[in-house]
Structure 1
Amino acid sequence: MTRYVEIDHVVPVPLDHDRPDGERIAVYAREISTDPGLPWLLFLGGGPGFAAPRPLGTEGWLVRALRDYRVLLLDQRGTGRSTPVTRSVALARGPEYVARFRADAIVRDAELVRHAVAGGRPWTVLGQSFGGFCTLSYLSFAPEGLRAAMITGGLPGVGVAADEPYRALYPVVLQKNRDHYAHHPDDADTARQVAEHLRSTVVTLPTGRRLTVEAFQSIGNVLGQHDGSARLHRLLEAPFVGGALGDAFLFAVSDALSWATAANPLYYLLHEATYAHATGPTGWAAQRVRAEFGEFAGADPVCFTGEMIFPWMFDDDPLMRPLRRVADQLAERPRWPALYDLDQLRANTVPAVAAVYDTDMYVPRDLSLATAATIPGLQVWHSTDHQHDALRVDGERVLSHLLAVLE
């Protein structure tokens, strides 16, 4: 276990950066270092709506990073120990408030944190998943704040409508289903029995959430992780007890669905908005595009879905149901601010590297590669050996490779 010093930082920032004298919120960051003389590395994690990881000292990427950097783990606005956006806050403040918690605002927060914590010195940023989206926004709007940029599993398509990432991802999800059933053929019959039971019986999870066929399908989100197929297989081992779905299965399903919980309402509310780049309404893009793929509509075998937020998720979850109207208003928002400056990206001079995973189920490979081709100085590590969670699973190797590319 790596021994290090932790220091807490809290920086006040404007809710609306275009109105610096208006309402203010707080942003929290945790500094971790073994040597205060080292340069800074800002870590931007996944989301939207998730706090920075709470380190235990055994994380491979962090152990590697601490050899060369002081690491700053940012609780992105609205999460963790930053001023939180809870369900009650989102309901009371409404869509205009929630809309101010996207990547463009996170980057402007980070710049204020850089001046307050790092003395204004440029730093290196490491963005994982949604943190990579934020890193691309950083390269767009504040490249002067960066010495270098690293992205893992989070290089988004730019200049595309919200439909396009989902249209690219559904085929990847379908292939993950085929691969799973090829390795575990008996799971097809088990999943079919569960789906038939859910069509005829009202089943409620321990959280109070209704387990519908669609909700059951959404546990397929695990298939995008390195051990996801094995985890899904274990979940489907023995779902029934005496003709009903057993408690062990229902608790396991609740755990498998924990990637989207009421504890992180920003994830529910802003997931599609991460693809809204100066375009019109997202209009529940994941739901709309799903209709183009009939395999997900009652097909045999059951086709599990991936990282998509659907409107029915608000209806089936009593904790999120009050926010359905806010979600609809965000989906219908006629125009969003730009998340990227395409001209600036085409003129980029910041050394950058992105790990793009060949079968990433959350960020479409082809859109990532298309973006990379437009950014000078951005090198790509196109890995066929890793899944989206590579930084967590094989962090020391992944980060070492990215740092070597930057040298």
Structure 2
Amino acid sequence: MMTDHFFDVPLDHRAPDGERIRLYAREVVAAGRAREDLPWLVYLQGGPGFPAGRPVGRENWLDRALEDYRVLLLDQRGTGRSTPATRQTLPLRGTPGEQAAYLAHFRADAIVRDCEYIRPLLTGGRPWTVLGQSFGGFCAVTYLSFAPEGLAEVIVTGGLPSLDAGADDVYRAAYPRMERKCRAHYARYPQDEEAARRIARHLARQPQTLPDGTVLTVEQFQQLGILLGTGDGSHRLHYLLEDAFVPTPAGEQLSDAFGEQVAALLSRAASPLYTLLHEAIYAQDGRPTHWSAERVRAEFPQFEPNVEDGGRFLFTGETVHPWMLHTQPALRPLRETAQLLARREGWTPLYDAAQLARNTVPVAAAIYHDDLYVDTGHSLRTARSIAGLRTWVTDEYEHDGVRASGRVVLDRLLRLVRDEV
């Protein structure tokens, strides 16, 4: 059984009488149990900038959660059926400066305050369990820092952030992981390195406009490495590369089928916040992020494609770059807003190390060994900094383990957080 919920919450929780925005959340409860007084579990999606999944039956982790909980799938502010923040809606805010000021209220601290605003309305004031995947795990650690009284348990999957690393630190740790994942992919599919070089050579001579208007450059093509952080991503990348070209009267060209698949993988039309706020989720010391991934990439020259003479070609991963504001049509109208956010100063802390050190909320976290998206070393240091946190470090799954494993990952973590393992 599913029930829709809408809530009007303050844009800025420090000004509760000011402007309000709308939040949407979907309540899911097992058939026949709607009248039971079940504890609540709120799911915080990865991102930033993605809505909660739309379930079709009792799939993957949800099947296990519904045995014990009434589940709330929250569309975090700006996403899904919550008040949207896209190229179509943000101009309603006014100038790029006004848009950037508005979006400064869309980080993890505001998401936690949203949760605390709606929790008493749903639970009658009782604390609830939070399941945070990836960026949702970052939000869960913020929740533990600033509103632990609202939490009965916390479960984190692939999302223990560094408490003190800035964006530059995050990307200096990330680029070597990207290279390792890429090398591992070529070891599995040796033919793919030449296939990737061949596509890159073609794009270096003639960037291609994809069906959605995205301009596919070599750098944009490298971004397909984001697939390598998921359990089936290496296989998906291989099948994509093997059918890239078709013969035409003008010679071999990248196929429409290839272009359509790439457009779907790279598009940010539905999730511009992923680009606009991605580096801001690491900003805590007041300094601007200033396109950190782009700046740090210069420290790793092996990622510069050297394809004309048979040199190496490495895919990248979860990074955002200023040139995306020109190659992606959904971001072009927001380029000034994005630049202002990249230059924004005054970002405030998202975690309270002292509070985490005296934490009393039961916490369990899955840390995926050599996770492409979240540095394992950073996660382990954070795990040691949160009192009572229990970890499960595994190389059996990639970053999407909680979805790919069916019931396994969530069941293991529930037993861990309840001290049943």
Shorter-chain TM range is over 0.9
* Matched residue, 2:334: 323
Identity within the alignment, %: 55
- Partners of 1:33 and 1:199 in 2: CA distance: 52
- String of CA shifts for 1:319-355, please: whole Å, max 9, x gaps: 3112111111101111212211121111111110110
Say if 2:281 is the partner of 1:274.
yes
* Matched residue, 2:319: 308
1:242-321 equivalences under 5 Å are 242=247, 243-258=252-267, 261-299=268-306, 300-321=311-332
Say if 2:180 is the partner of 1:175.
yes
Say if 2:386 is the partner of 1:375.
yes
Say if 2:211 is the partner of 1:206.
yes
- SS of structure 1 residue aligned to 2:210: coil
Q: What displacement does 1:161 show?
A: 1.2
1:69-108 equivalences under 5 Å are 69-93=69-93, 94-108=99-113
Say if 2:117 is the partner of 1:112.
yes
* Matched residue, 2:126: 121
Q: What displacement does 1:14 show?
A: 0.4
* Matched residue, 2:15: 19
Paired residues of 1:161 and 1:279 also in contact (CA < 8 A): no
* Matched residue, 1:139: 144
- Partners of 1:302 and 1:335 in 2: CA distance: 38
Normalization by structure 2: what TM-score? 0.93
Aligned-residue CA RMSD in angstroms? 1.1
- String of CA shifts for 1:20-67, please: whole Å, max 9, x gaps: 000011111111112232111111111111111111113221110011
- SS of structure 2 residue aligned to 1:236: helix
- String of CA shifts for 1:377-399, please: whole Å, max 9, x gaps: 11111111110000110031001
Name the stretch that deviates more: 273-282 or 208-217. 273-282
Q: What displacement does 1:91 show?
A: 3.8
* Matched residue, 1:59: 59
- Partners of 1:52 and 1:188 in 2: CA distance: 35
Paired residues of 2:207 and 2:218 also in contact (CA < 8 A): no
- Partners of 1:278 and 1:123 in 2: CA distance: 30
Q: What displacement does 1:187 show?
A: 1.2
Structure 2 gap ranges (5+): 94-98
Q: What displacement does 1:92 show?
A: 4.3
Query: What is the aligned length?
Result: 401
* Matched residue, 1:229: 234
Paired residues of 1:90 and 1:98 also in contact (CA < 8 A): no
Say if 2:46 is the partner of 1:46.
yes
Paired residues of 2:50 and 2:80 also in contact (CA < 8 A): yes
- Partners of 1:191 and 1:401 in 2: CA distance: 38
Q: What displacement does 1:267 show?
A: 1.1
Q: What displacement does 1:375 show?
A: 0.9
Normalization by structure 1: what TM-score? 0.96
- String of CA shifts for 1:160-183, please: whole Å, max 9, x gaps: 111111111111110111111111
Paired residues of 2:53 and 2:73 also in contact (CA < 8 A): yes
* Matched residue, 1:402: 413
The amino acid that maps onto 1:11 is F
Q: What displacement does 1:313 show?
A: 0.7
The amino acid that maps onto 1:278 is D
Q: What displacement does 1:238 show?
A: 2.5
- Partners of 2:400 and 2:84 in 1: CA distance: 26
- Partners of 1:344 and 1:139 in 2: CA distance: 8
- SS of structure 1 residue aligned to 2:393: strand
Q: What displacement does 1:218 show?
A: 0.4
Displacement over 4 Å in runs of 4+: none
- SS of structure 1 residue aligned to 2:321: coil
- Partners of 1:316 and 1:26 in 2: CA distance: 31
- Partners of 1:91 and 1:365 in 2: CA distance: 39
* Matched residue, 1:153: 158
- Partners of 1:399 and 1:288 in 2: CA distance: 37
Paired residues of 1:198 and 1:213 also in contact (CA < 8 A): yes
- Partners of 1:68 and 1:41 in 2: CA distance: 9
- SS of structure 2 residue aligned to 1:179: helix
- String of CA shifts for 1:48-95, please: whole Å, max 9, x gaps: 111111111132211100111111111111111111112133344310
